[in-house]
Amino acid sequence: MREITAKEVETLLNQGKILNIIDVREVKEVATGIIPGAINIPLGLVEFRMHELDKTKEYIMVCRSGGRSGQATRFLESYGFNVINMAGGMLAWEGLVE
């Protein structure tokens, strides 16, 4: 499983890179703040919403601490998606939130 740090994600966003970020936290968790531009697909719904994703794109998976996003990363990898887990999750995130 490939990983990226929160700081690397923040740097890429600050450089103007367009990233496909999927936050797998529950809706009530996301209400406390989400990385700008991220899409919320709670972990329990990833299996049912993966048809919304494009296998030609790269996705960065995010959760609170990196555990659930790691599960989502492994699951989507098994279906041929290009995914990277953000290590440390939102606990490691120091960038802007919306």
How far apart, in whole angstroms, are the C-alpha atoms of residue 15 and residue 43? 29
Using CA atoms of 67, 72, 85, 28 in order, give the dihedral in degrees to the nearest 10. Answer: -60
Catalytic site residue from 63, 72, 83, 84: 63
Residue 2 tokens, joined? 């490939």
Please tell me the distance from the alpha carbon of residue 92 to that of residue 7, in angstroms, as a whole number.
Answer: 8
61 flagged as catalytic: no
List active site positions.
63
